[in-house]
Amino acid sequence: MGKRIFSILILTSFLLVSCVDSHRSMKEVVFVMDTIVTLDVRDHANEKLLKKMTDRLMEIDSLMSFSKEESDIYQVNHAKGESVLVDSSTYYVVKKAVEYTQMSGGCFDPSIGRLVALWGIGSDDEHVPSIKEIEEVVETIGLDKISLSEPNSISLMDGTMIDVGAIAKGFAADEMIRIAKEAGVESAIFNLGGNISVLGSKGSDSFRIGIRNPFSESDEYFGIVEVTDTSVVTSGNYERYFIDESGVKYHHILDPFSGYPADNELSGVTVICSSSIKADAFSTALYVMGLEKGLAFIEQMDDMEAIFVTNSRDVYLSTGLHASFLLCDDSFRILK
């Protein structure tokens, strides 16, 4: 009799705990991958889950960092043409990068590692390289310089370097969603340095994601998208750049063909796609493509939508987006 009561009590308390747990929300903020990441798990949250997520973030950073010597990417870049066995996550990311390069006709290309290092934007060494230097490095760019062999080996042509920084955050965001889903979380929002992924919805409403105004110094937004279960990633010429002595601005989105920052009428591109790694890659690719090509491209893609903002504050939306985008700054206008 006593035992029965005891086991009923234990059972009840477990049920109570999981009941409480299912409503529990937690937020965690960490500094990783050179940026601030906010993890907002709105139900079924507990310390163990958050720890698993932050550990995974650290792991991704140490595997895919361009500069950290222990990273897989560093090893591959310094292997002088030798094949390197990497972590399955790294292999997945590079494989996806290659896929996106093909899809985007080379506008997104991970083999720009040496070009990024040459320009040094964001470091103390940022400068305008000479034409010769750029030409030399552009020679090392291209899909033909990357070799992937299953299960997990990567080799590069000697002299080529890959940099997956442009999609690492996207991958990390997808991983956060995966881990949360596996733990039974129904609603969450993750912000990885401006790269947003949402799981589920916010109660009965969608999540409202602001799109940063490229022309404002602070956190102002010109429009809002209402989304559920998807990722919103923006690339813009206002994020990282330097200005040289003659007042010319050089931003961080490099054109893999010319070797120079992509120079077109765009100030920013936002891609909305349920796969964050894809959104991350294509926000860069579409920016490089420019407005016309970019719009044409996005119309072909069923699983992605995009917002283009030009230097003259004109906003272009892909067809699927007209319903869920709200303009809130009338110094911008939406054009078809």
Partner 1 sequence: MNMMKQGDYILIFFLLLFAGVLFLHSMYNIQEKGAMVEIRLADEDPVYVSIDQNTTLDLSRGDLVNILCIEDEKVYMLESNCRDQLCVRRGEISLEGESIVCLPHRISIVILGTDKGDIDALSQ
In the sheet that holds 333-335, the strands lie side by side as 26-32, 35-41, 188-192, 195-199, 230-236, 266-273, 304-310, 314-317, 333-335
CA distances in angstroms from 80 to 141, 262, 291, listed in the order given: 15, 29, 38
Measured from the CB atom, is 185 or 189 closer to partner 1? 189
Residue 329 CB, shortest distance to partner 1, in Å, is 12
Measured from the CB atom, is 38 or 83 closer to partner 1? 38
Measured from the CB atom, is 224 or 301 closer to partner 1? 224
The CA distance from 287 to 124, in Å, is: 25
The CA distance from 232 to 213, in Å, is: 15
Residue 126 CB, shortest distance to partner 1, in Å, is 10
Cβ 199 vs Cβ 188: under 8 Å: yes
Residue 31 CB, shortest distance to partner 1, in Å, is 5
Residue 330 CB, shortest distance to partner 1, in Å, is 16
Residue 20 CB, shortest distance to partner 1, in Å, is 19
Residues at the site binding partner 1, with contacts judged by CB under 8 A: 27-31, 34-36, 38, 189, 191, 193-196, 198, 202, 207-212, 218-219, 221, 224, 232-234, 236, 238-240, 270
Measured from the CB atom, is 17 or 29 closer to partner 1? 29
The CA distance from 277 to 233, in Å, is: 9
Residue 127 CB, shortest distance to partner 1, in Å, is 15
Burial of 138 (0-12, 13-18, 19+ CB in 10 A): buried
Measured from the CB atom, is 224 or 321 closer to partner 1? 224
Measured from the CB atom, is 155 or 235 closer to partner 1? 235
Which residue carries 């361009």 as its tokens?
66
